[in-house]
Amino acid sequence: MWLRVVDRADEAGPRAVAYGAFMPTSYRTTVYVDGKRVAENDATLSNAWHRPELFQLPFVTDGPREHEILVSFECWAGYLGCIVPPLHVGALAPVTDFYEWQTFLRIGVPQIGSVSILCVGAFALFFWVRRRHEVAYLLFFCASLLWTFRTLHYHLSRYPQPEGVFWWVTINSLPWLSVVVYLFAFRLYGERRPVVERVLVGMATISTLLALPNITSENWFFEQIQYAMQALISIFVTVVLTIAGWRRRRSEQLAMAAALWVCLAFGVHDLLLETGSITIESLYLLPYAALPLFGAFIYAMARRYRGAIEDAERLNASLEQRLVQRQRELDDSYAQLRRIEIESAKNQERQRLMRDMHDGIGSSLMSSLALAERGHADHEFVLGTLRDAVDELKLTIDSLEPIENDLVTLLANLRYRLGPRLGKAGLTIEWDMPDLPKLAWMDAAAALQILRIVQESIANVIKHARATKLRVAAAVIDGQVRVTIADDGVGYDVEAEARAPTGRGLRNLRHRAEQIGAIIEMRNLEPGTRVTLQLPIDRRRAPR
Amino acid sequence: MRAPARLIVVEDDAAFQDLFRAALEPAPGIELLGLFDRGASAIEALKKLVPDVLLVDLGLPDMSGLEVIRACAATHPECEMMVITVFGDEQHILQSIEAGATGYLLKDAMPEDLAAQIHALRAGGSPISPVIARQLLSRYSTPRPEVKDDAAQLSERECEVLRLVAKGYTFPEIARLLDISAHSVMTYVKRSYRKLHVNSKTEAVYEARKMGLLRD
């Protein structure tokens, strides 16, 4: 096919001829000026896909003059026929501007789009490698890859060989891109629609297989079916996404649906362009669809990312709050436990004191009161009873003093109490009190028993022994604290007492000693008597 | 011959009032200045009277005997103060000593020993039980950061005496064991009482500073 143009230059300067579109493919173009061949393009380059061309003409116009320019296109008259673009002939500078602008729009923009999308896709891939369960990021990477394949032919100046395979890959990227967009839009929400997904994948597979024969030879029939299926898949995905996004008010899905509508519109435009319904000088718009489509992708991912961060922050906040609350609950329950412990200790102590009062002071006061009421008690008896009661009370009080398991202080305080009375009884006291280990087991109840045992032993000496000296000593022997109370009095028949224990006193002492895990022994000395109280230091290892 | 000990008694129990009168009025070397049954009237009287010895029951109807002791300690630092107590338990005695008392009377020790104990107290002999000695030791034998005044710490000798008291030894026994006079033993005990009183005052100041009630 030939185009003839007459160049009438009005101004001086070099001249050029350019055209902004060229299709469908592999045209060899030859330029003749005034019947002379001046230029041709390199037809061995498979670069012809709507790639602008610029030819500098070999003449300089220095006055009004006419030149005849003939451009020959070796047109392959395929199914679409032969469409040639309008020629722009004129001064070199404006024609070059035109050429460069066309090159940018047709090659630069698709290049920039592909590279940017691949970068974002790589970012998503790295993200996915670390977070394998976030499949949406992997899908985004796949989409970016597919998009790059789909638009590769817009800016490559030399197609990879074999060219049939290249076109097969390029053209079939589109249905898979639709599938990926669909998967992405729903996986983003963790949704799966197995049936729809299977149908889509099946259709994309069929479409891809149908295109296989085109690798070796172009087959118009298969190509049409294949394009029809691609269109079907794209429309299906677009409609489904639109409906789903609209129903659930999902801005991400709606954004993607909108982008797909734009893609569809651009696709229709490109189809019309290809069939010649729109001037050949127009642009292929599909590469421009990258902007809305991947804008929607990035929007969706950014929202998801922001949502994840906000979720994490909310979670942290609520965790902190829950931690504080749990801490408070724990504190409360500890406090309650402590209260219960204290309460129970108080209760035990109260019960012990009640028992002591009831059995000790209470009963002795009651019996003397009964005697006194019947007139059987003389002054001395009443005095004696009251004194005993006060003594008993004092013992109880002393057993409650904070002496921290210190037997020495316990015994010392007893001596301090009894000292004046012993002096009045004419007894000289020999006191031998070394440092003693603390008795961890000695609580107030045990302290009271020890006080009673020692006091009764001393009282026995005062009452019965007619002694002049009383020796109270303590020592540590064989893991035991041994407290001895010895007098130089008349002594008494220990053997007889052991055979038939008549004295309430001695039986009482034994009983009290048993209660605290101690052993009491009485032995006749010549002269006098010795009472030995053996207290275990560690009651868990007490001899039985 | 010493001047008689001028005495004020604060006791609300009528039986014990009678008992005090009966025991003290005829006692040689003792002059009973007044006997009060309310803390307020005793504190009022202390503005005019200058006693050598003050006997106070802790459980008065209108206030704690501790307040009478504090009032007397503030106005009559030379006055010996004794608390009248039923049991001589650690808590009551320590509080009284902190308030400024230097001795205590057990109610059942009366009446025969009453005059003797008053004279003993004037002679410097403060009674001390092993439990009290133990408490004094545990409180003041180790230096404490909030008490800056070294003089308020117990001396080594005082600690030694208190340790023996806590083990149940009597003053004469302690004097023998430490090879000092019985009077020195009494002095050490009384000094440790005074230190408890002083410390309780500085501690009150320390606490007040901590709470911002007082400025440095």
Kindly tell me if the per-residue pLDDT of B51 is higher than 60: yes
Separation in Å, CA of B108 to nearest CA in chain A: 9
Give residue A544's pLDDT: 45
Q: Which residues contact A78 (CB under 8 A, 6 or more apart)?
A: A24, A218
B116 at A interface, C-beta within 8 A: no
Please state, rounded to an integer, the average pLDDT across all residues of chain B.
83
In chain B, residues 6-65 whose CB comes closer than 8 Å to chain A: none
Q: Exposed (0-12), middle (13-18) or buried (19+): which is B201, by Cβ within 10 Å?
A: middle
User: In terms of CA atoms, which chain B residue is nearest residue A395?
Assistant: B87
As a three-state string, the secondary structure of A323-368 is HHHHHHHHHHHHHHHHHHHHHHHHHHHHHHHHHHHHHHHHHHHHHH
- Give the CATH number of domain A422-541; options: 3.40.1390.30, 3.40.50.10320, 3.30.565.10, 3.30.70.1450: 3.30.565.10
Q: Exposed (0-12), middle (13-18) or buried (19+): which is A271, by Cβ within 10 Å?
A: middle
CB-CB under 8 Å, B166 with A412: yes
CB-CB under 8 Å, B166 with A408: yes
- Give the CATH number of domain A107-313; options: 3.90.1580, 1.20.1070, 3.90.220, 1.10.20: 1.20.1070
The per-residue pLDDT for range B126-144, each reduced to its tens digit, is 888 888 888 888 877 665 5
Give residue A26's pLDDT: 55
Contact A442, A407 (CB under 8 A): yes
Per CB-CB distance under 8 Å, the chain B contacts of A402 are 90, 131, 135
Cα angle A116-A119-A122, degrees, rounded to a multiple of 5: 150
DSSP strands (E only) in A41-117 = 53-61, 65-74, 87-91
User: In terms of CA atoms, which chain B residue is nearest residue A414?
Assistant: B168
Q: From CA A438, how far away is CA A445, in angstroms rounded?
A: 16
Cis peptide before A434 (omega within 30 of 0): no
Among B129, B167, B173, select the one facing A408 at the smallest CB separation: B167
Q: From CA B97, how far away is CA B81, in angstroms rounded?
A: 9
Among B89, B130, B173, select the one facing A409 at the smallest CB separation: B130
The DSSP string of A16-36 is EEEES---SS--EEEEEETTE
Contact B83, B104 (CB under 8 A): yes
* DSSP classification of residue B2: P
Total CB pairs under 8 A between chain A and B: 51
Which tokens go with B70?
Answer: 């504090």
Kindly tell me if the per-residue pLDDT of B214 is higher than 60: no
CB-CB under 8 Å, A403 with B167: no
Give residue B150's pLDDT: 54
Q: From CA A270, how far away is CA A20, in angstroms rounded?
A: 16
B162 at A interface, C-beta within 8 A: no
Separation in Å, CA of A411 to nearest CA in chain B: 7
Give residue A168's pLDDT: 84
Q: Which residues contact A200 (CB under 8 A, 6 or more apart)?
A: A178, A179, A182, A233, A236, A237
The DSSP string of A472-538 is EEEEEETTEEEEEEEE-S----HHHHHHS---HHHHHHHHHHHHTT-EEEEEE-SSSEEEEEEEESS
ipTM summary value: 0.84
Separation in Å, CA of A358 to nearest CA in chain B: 20
Q: How far is CA A504 from CA A262, A456, A489, A491, A510, in A?
A: 113, 11, 20, 17, 10
Among B113, B130, B170, select the one facing A413 at the smallest CB separation: B130
Q: Which residues contact A142 (CB under 8 A, 6 or more apart)?
A: A180
CB-CB under 8 Å, A433 with B168: yes
Q: What is the largest CA-CA distance in chain B?
A: 52
Per CB-CB distance under 8 Å, the chain A contacts of B135 are 402
**Percentage of residues in chain A with pLDDT exceeding 70?**
88
DSSP strands (E only) in B45-201 = 53-57, 80-85, 103-106
Q: From CA A45, how far away is CA A157, in angstroms rounded?
A: 7
Total residue count of chain A as it appears in this document: 544
Q: From CA B60, how far away is CA A301, in angstroms rounded?
A: 83
Cα angle A485-B93-B101, degrees, rounded to a multiple of 5: 125
User: In terms of CA atoms, which chain B residue is nearest residue A399?
Assistant: B89
Q: How far is CA B29 from CA A210, A343, B52, in A?
A: 135, 53, 12
Per CB-CB distance under 8 Å, the chain A contacts of B173 are 431
Q: Where in chain B is the domain with CATH 3.40.50.2300?
A: 5-122
Q: From CA B10, how far away is CA B84, in angstroms rounded?
A: 9
The A-side interface with B (CB below 8 A) comprises 390, 393-394, 397-398, 400-403, 406, 408-409, 411-416, 419-420, 431, 433
Contact A109, A287 (CB under 8 A): yes
Separation in Å, CA of B127 to nearest CA in chain A: 10
Q: From CA A81, how far away is CA A225, in angstroms rounded?
A: 20
User: In terms of CA atoms, which chain B residue is nearest residue A390?
Assistant: B108
Per CB-CB distance under 8 Å, the chain A contacts of B168 are 408, 411-416, 431, 433
Burial A459-486 (b: 16+ CB within 10 A, else e): bbbbebbebeebbbebeeeeebbbbbbb
CATH 2.60.120 matches A2-98? yes
> 């008053």: which residue's tokens?
B118
DSSP, collapsed to helix, strand or coil, labels residue A286 as: helix
Q: From CA A215, how far away is CA A188, in angstroms rounded?
A: 36
Q: From CA A460, how far away is CA B192, in angstroms rounded?
A: 37
Which tokens go with A8?
Answer: 């009438």
Q: From CA A370, how far away is CA A376, in angstroms rounded?
A: 9
Q: For testing the chain A interface, which of B85, B86, B87 should be mutated: the one with the most A CBs within 10 Å? A: B87
Contact A502, A458 (CB under 8 A): no
Total residue count of chain B as it appears in this document: 216
Separation in Å, CA of A376 to nearest CA in chain B: 25
User: In terms of CA atoms, which chain B residue is nearest residue A417?
Assistant: B129
Separation in Å, CA of B13 to nearest CA in chain A: 18
**Percentage of residues in chain B with pLDDT exceeding 90?**
21
CB-CB under 8 Å, B131 with A408: no
Contact A519, A535 (CB under 8 A): no
Q: How far is CA B19 from CA A185, B16, B36, B115, in A?
A: 103, 5, 14, 12
Q: Residue ranges of the domains in chain A?
A: 2-98, 107-313, 422-541
User: In terms of CA atoms, which chain B residue is nearest residue A415?
Assistant: B168
Per CB-CB distance under 8 Å, the chain B contacts of A401 are 89-90, 131
Q: Exposed (0-12), middle (13-18) or buried (19+): which is A215, by Cβ within 10 Å?
A: middle
Low-confidence ranges of chain A (pLDDT < 50): 24, 501, 542-544
B130 at A interface, C-beta within 8 A: yes
The per-residue pLDDT for range B2-34, each reduced to its tens digit, is 678 899 999 998 888 888 888 888 888 888 899
Q: Exposed (0-12), middle (13-18) or buried (19+): which is A529, by Cβ within 10 Å?
A: buried
Among A394, A412, A420, select the one facing B168 at the smallest CB separation: A412
B130-211 maps to which CATH number?
1.10.10
The per-residue pLDDT for range A112-150, each reduced to its tens digit, is 888 988 998 998 899 899 988 888 889 999 999 999 988
Any bridge partners for residue B61, and if so which? none
Among A390, A398, A415, select the one facing B168 at the smallest CB separation: A415
Give residue B55's pLDDT: 92
DSSP, collapsed to helix, strand or coil, labels residue A219 as: coil
Give residue B205's pLDDT: 64
Q: Would residue B146 be called left, alpha or beta, if left means φ above 0 and alpha means ψ between -120 and 50 degrees? A: alpha
CB A150: neighbour CB atoms within 10 A?
Answer: 23
DSSP, collapsed to helix, strand or coil, labels residue B143 as: coil
B168 at A interface, C-beta within 8 A: yes
Amino acid, single-letter form, for residue B54:
L
Kindly report the backbone phi and psi dihedral angles of residue A381, in degrees, each rounded to the nearest multiple of 5, phi listed first: -65, -45
Among B90, B109, B167, select the one facing A433 at the smallest CB separation: B167
Per CB-CB distance under 8 Å, the chain A contacts of B130 are 409, 412-413, 415-416
The per-residue pLDDT for range A389-448, each reduced to its tens digit, is 888 888 888 887 777 788 998 999 889 888 888 888 888 899 999 988 888 888 888 888
CATH class of B5-122: alpha beta
User: In terms of CA atoms, which chain B residue is nearest residue A398?
Assistant: B89
CB-CB under 8 Å, A409 with B134: yes
Per CB-CB distance under 8 Å, the chain A contacts of B167 are 408-409, 412, 433
Burial A277-310 (b: 16+ CB within 10 A, else e): eeebeebbbbbbbbebbbebbbebbeebeeeeee
Among A390, A397, A433, select the one facing B108 at the smallest CB separation: A390
- Calculate the CA A425 to chain-centre distance: 81
User: In terms of CA atoms, which chain A residue is nearest residue B93?
Assistant: A401
Angle between helices A135-150 and A163-187 (to 10 degrees): 150
B120 at A interface, C-beta within 8 A: no
